[in-house]
Chains A and B, each alone.
Chain A
Amino acid sequence: QKEVEQNSGPLSVPEGAIASLNCTYSDRGSQSFFWYRQYSGKSPELIMFIYSNGDKEDGRFTAQLNKASQYVSLLIRDSQPSDSATYLCAVIYNQGGKLIFGQGTELSVKP
């Protein structure tokens, strides 16, 4: 069974610090990797998408993918209280585009 694992948290960081979120996946056939942010009571919002090994940066967000070790991480630099949310890691396997989600990591950024 294909699995995506995340630490549930909560992860607490002070404002201005770097938040590091990690995700591992079980199937080496995984094609694409996503990070979604979900505020309480809202639907998931796509913040990063990566499919090649290495780093991808977008503003304060950096996604890191290591296919050999089967993990993908998300770094949030200069964390802000508005970054407080649940971060969902999701993976697409080569089976029709369906997303498999991890359980999510709750991030709390303290002022």
Chain B
Amino acid sequence: SAVISQKPSRDICQRGTSLTIQCQVDSQVTMMFWYRQQPGQSLTLIATANQGSEATYESGFVIDKFPISRPNLTFSTLTVSNMSPEDSSIYLCSVGGFSSEQFFGPGTRLTVL
């Protein structure tokens, strides 16, 4: 399985600010995904990060709030913009493919005050 790292591991931010989360994989992967896990909840897919094209967002998530970059096959970033306390969650990136195993990074724990 791929080794996935995320930065930062946690952060405490003020409302109205933005935070960029980085996801690095030790091998080239076609598909990368960003998930959110709100306190006490399960995981919800935010978007699929596509290399060389715009990210594909799920219902309820928009590019202005969660811009994503995917400059190459080993790296992606997710920005949480204009944050509010409701954005306090764990943000996880994962890698995998169609009908195959998906593996998760260690996550970024975000608290918005």
Chain A interface residues toward B at CB < 8 A: 31-32, 34, 36, 42-46, 49, 51, 88, 90, 92, 94, 96-104
User: Can you name the residue of chain A whose Cβ is closest to the Cβ of B31?
Assistant: A97
Most chain A CB inside 10 Å of its own CB: which residue of B41, B48, B103, B104: B104
**Residues in chain A near residue B67, CB distance under 8 A:** none
Complex: A41 Cα to B90 Cα, angstroms: 9
Q: Look across to chain B and name the residue whose beta carbon is closest to the beta carbon of A51.
A: B99
Q: Which of the listed residues A31, A44, A88 has the most CB atoms from chain B within 10 Å of its own CB?
A: A44
Known A32-B100, A43-B106, A96-B56: A101·B43 in contact at CB below 8 Å: yes
Q: How far is the CB of A106 from chain B (nearest CB, A)?
A: 11
Contacts of A101 in B (CB 8 A): 42-44
* In the complex, residue of chain A having the shortest beta-carbon distance to the beta carbon of B47: A98
- Beyond the given pairs A43-B107, A97-B102, 18 more chain A to chain B contacts, judged by CB atoms under 8 angstroms and listed by A's residue number, are A42-B106, A43-B92, A43-B104, A44-B104, A46-B101, A49-B101, A88-B42, A88-B43, A94-B99, A96-B31, A97-B33, A97-B48, A97-B96, A97-B97, A97-B98, A98-B48, A98-B58, A99-B45
Task: Return the contact of A104 from the options B42, B44, B102 (Cβ within 8 A).
Answer: B42
Interface centre among B45, B94, B99, B101 (most CB of A within 10 A): B99
Do A31 and B43 have beta carbons less than 8 Å apart?
Answer: no
Interface centre among B43, B58, B97, B105 (most CB of A within 10 A): B43
Are the CB atoms of A43 and B48 closer together than 8 Å?
no
* 9 closest cross-chain pairs (CB), A and B: A43-B107, A32-B99, A43-B104, A97-B98, A101-B42, A31-B99, A101-B43, A103-B42, A49-B101
| B107 and A96 contact, CB distance less than 8 A | no
Bound CA–CA A108/B58 (angstroms): 33
Shortest CB distance B76–A (Å):
15
**18 A-B residue pairings within 8 Å (CB atoms):** A31-B99, A34-B101, A42-B106, A42-B107, A43-B90, A43-B92, A43-B106, A44-B104, A46-B104, A90-B43, A92-B99, A96-B56, A99-B33, A99-B43, A99-B45, A99-B94, A101-B44, A103-B42
